[in-house]
Structure 1
Amino acid sequence: MKNKMIKEYTRIQNGLFAKVSLENNFKMEEILRIAGVDIAYWEEKGFHYGTCCIVVINFRTKIVIEQSTSNGEITVPYIPGFLAFRELPLVMEAVEKLTMDPDLYMFDGNGYLHYRHMGLATHASFYLNKPTIGVAKNYLKIENTPFVMPENETGAFTDIRIGQEIYGRVLRTAKDVKPIFVSSGNWIDLATSTEVVMACINENSRLPIPVRLADIETRLARRNLISK
């Protein structure tokens, strides 16, 4: 069963990859609302559940202007490299609850930095029809390629190059903190992805504000759902 799923999922991802563009389809001044997306899981009585939280901020003021949550049973098994098929239903359910339309989505996870360049941020873009960015806390090692640690300075970065291609970027958002791993999702280039991420950093975290707040909300939502 799992082998059949992998074959079908690979076919779908390869088809979508042909439509990926690592060029901006917008102007920076058009970006007013940025959504951060995160998902948390738990298991109960042999069943797997998840909750997705989306937090939308005003890109200029960094103030939260809306948030939504969805939760439910997870029926797709965890298969490395195919996380989008497991998480997208919850993501889209949370998106449908928003009353406003974000201009850009930022995911707690990867985008182009993926075995087939189809991390959740990239995959989800085709359903959202919006530019997306992947922001991961941990490194997804591909083809056993290590990353190069950037200098210990705010905004320092090194590119993740695998073969002759750049998959993403190791970005130190503040001095004396661990770096994060940024990759384009779709319809945005890596330089702009980095610029947007750095513009959403404050003194509270190494993570950009939308992703950090979405991460906090998913943990709270999971805790509340488990307690019930």
Structure 2
Amino acid sequence: MKSKIMEVFDGIQSDLSHKIRLKNSFAREDIRLIAGVDLAYWEEGEATVACCCICVLDFSTKKIIEIKSLIDEVNVAYMPGYLSFRELPLIMQTFKKLSNDPDLVMFDGNGYLHPRNMGIATHASFHLNKSTIGIAKSYLKINSVDFIMPSNNVGAFTDIVINRIVYGRALRTHKNVKPIFVSCGNWIDIDTATEITLELINNESRLPIPVRQADLETKKIKRRKSLLF
């Protein structure tokens, strides 16, 4: 049985889901800066603390031009399917620290690939007013639907189809390496989300550069802070 707060969250997600548009709201040539977002959690005494890191990449040079992070206590408990309510306050505060204004944002997490199509990448798009992409390292099974493993070739993918709708893709970014799971956040289509993701893969990781860098930064901060507790 769902709690009152979960029912409230359901209502918010339901209202926003009707506003999702899985179409590009931009021209490819206008994408100059792409941000990657990730969070890490740890305990400090009785408190749960999180670090949000945002890394901004120059799409033409594939170089990181700005990194900002913020640490704060988390006051919303973890509830499966409602992660955005836990993470959005810190994400929005971290975005305020940026000197650069990204044209597109990639999240370490899901977007449309979510039971109510409202993963963090999708939910955050409405607050940021930006096109977004979800990049997940592991598969979130919805309605008992498994993904089909793509062939062992760079760029190979299989669509994740639930209720005859494409929720996302299992994408192979390196040969002999596990796929990642790409889903639209908002104001972008799945083909463009896939193409941009592949353009941001280097030899160091199966993850696109800005998401990988944000992941590394949050892990580094977490290790440093955890040594104090």
3-state DSSP of counterpart to 1:85:
helix
Tell me the residue number matched to 2:162: 162
Q: CA deviation at 1:225?
A: 2.3
Alignment deviations for residues 97-154 of structure 1 (CA, whole Å, 9 cap, x no partner):
0011000000000000000000000000011100000000000000011100000000
Identity score, percent: 56
AA aligned to 1:208 is P
Structure-2 separation of matches of 1:222 and 1:72: 12
Tell me the residue number matched to 1:150: 150
Tell me the residue number matched to 1:30: 30
3-state DSSP of counterpart to 2:222:
helix
Q: CA deviation at 1:44?
A: 2.2
CA RMSD of aligned residues (A): 1.1
3-state DSSP of counterpart to 2:13:
helix
Structure-2 separation of matches of 1:127 and 1:70: 18
After superposing the two structures, state which structure 1 stretch, 41-50 or 13-22, moved more: 41-50
The 5 A counterparts of 1:177-216 are 177-216=177-216
2:131 matches 1:126: no
Tell me the residue number matched to 2:56: 56
2:4 matches 1:4: yes
Structure-2 separation of matches of 1:63 and 1:52: 20
AA aligned to 1:18 is H
Structure 1, unmatched stretches of 5+, are: none
Tell me the residue number matched to 1:65: 65
Alignment deviations for residues 151-202 of structure 1 (CA, whole Å, 9 cap, x no partner):
0000000000012111000000011110000000000000000000000001
3-state DSSP of counterpart to 2:181:
strand
3-state DSSP of counterpart to 1:7:
helix
Structure-1 separation of matches of 2:111 and 2:58: 23
3-state DSSP of counterpart to 1:153:
coil
Alignment deviations for residues 27-84 of structure 1 (CA, whole Å, 9 cap, x no partner):
0000000000000000122211100000001011111111110111110000000000
**4+ runs of 1 displaced by more than 3 Å?**
none
The 5 A counterparts of 1:68-79 are 68-79=68-79
AA aligned to 1:168 is G
Structure 2, unmatched stretches of 5+, are: none
Tell me the residue number matched to 1:226: 226
AA aligned to 1:21 is R
Structure-1 separation of matches of 2:206 and 2:167: 21
- Count of matched residue positions in the alignment of Structure 1 and Structure 2: 228
Tell me the residue number matched to 1:18: 18
Structure-1 separation of matches of 2:80 and 2:227: 29
TM-score, normalisation: structure 1: 0.98
Q: CA deviation at 1:227?
A: 3.1
Tell me the residue number matched to 2:87: 87
TM-score, normalisation: structure 2: 0.98
Structure-2 separation of matches of 1:76 and 1:48: 9
3-state DSSP of counterpart to 1:50:
strand
Structure-2 separation of matches of 1:174 and 1:100: 30
